[in-house]
Amino acid sequence: MEETLDQEKLVEEIAKRVREIIELLGENPDREGLRETPIRVAKALLEMTSGIRSPQPNIKVFSLKENGGSSEEDQIVLVKNVSFSSLCEHHMLPFIGKIHVAYIVGQSRKVAGFSKIIRIVNYYASRLQIQERLVEQVADAIMSSDIEPKGVMVIGDAIHMCAYVRGVKDKEATLTSVATRGVFKNNASLRNYVFRLLETPKRSTLL
C-alpha cells in the first residue's frame, strides 16, 4: 500500500514538472488534448526507467546433469533477437533494437531459463543508458549468475532516436556494440561462430 502511495506521489511530482515544460514550450497545458499529458508522460518515464528502482530479476537455472545429460562437451546457448527499448542518457530519447546473448555452459552444467535472459535485458534497458554500458551490464549479470558460464558474449544493434529525429537526423545509421567475458575474450573463432549462428533462421521462419 505504501509503495502505491509513493508511486502516486512520484507521478504527481513528475507531472507537475512536465506541465511546466509544456508551458515553457509555448503550449497551453490546459487545452483538452494536453490536459492528461503530464500524467501520461510521468507514467511513461517511470515505466521506462523502472530498472533504476527495482532489484535485478533472479536468473533461475536448470542442471543438464539429470537424465544422462552430463556430457562434458561445451554447449553454446544463444538467445537471439531480444527486442529492447531504452532511454539514452544524453537526450532521454529512446534507442531501440535487438540484443543477442550467447554463453558457454560451464563446469556446473547449468543453463538459464530462456525468459530470464529476456528479463535481464529489459531490466538493464529500463533506465537512462548508453548502449555500450547496456551490453556490458547484461554480460556481467550473466557471467556472475548461477549459470556459472565459461564465457558470455552480448551483441546489441540499435537505432538511436537522438540521432534519427534530431541533430544529425541520420535515418540509416545503427550502432552495434559487443561485450565479451571469459573464454570469448581471447577466442576469435568462438566469436565468429556466434556471428555465424546469428545468421540462422529468424523466428518468423520457424513457425
Ligand X SMILES: Nc1nc2c(ncn2[C@@H]2O[C@H](COP(=O)(O)OP(=O)(O)OP(=O)(O)O)[C@@H](O)[C@H]2O)c(=O)[nH]1
User: Nearest 5°: CA angle at 52, between 47 and 56?
Assistant: 105
Looking at 76, 128, 162, 175, which residue binds Zn ion (CB under 5 A)?
Answer: 162
State phi, psi for 128 to the nearest 5 degrees. -75, 120
Q: Environment class of residue 80 by beta-carbon count within 10 Å: exposed (0-12), middle (13-18) or buried (19+)? A: middle
Q: Which of 20, 23, 36, 90 is catalytic?
A: 90
141 belongs to an annotated ligand binding site: no
162 belongs to an annotated ligand binding site: yes
Q: How near is the Cβ of 156 to ligand X at its closest, in Å?
A: 9
End-to-end, the C-alpha distance of the chain in Å comes to: 43
- 67-96: contacts with Zn ion (CB under 5 A): 88, 90-91
Q: How near is the Cβ of 113 to ligand X at its closest, in Å?
A: 28
Residue 61 makes contact with Zn ion by CB under 5 A: no
C-alpha cell at 166: 534530431
Q: How near is the Cβ of 171 to ligand X at its closest, in Å?
A: 14
Write out the binding residues. Answer: 88, 91, 162
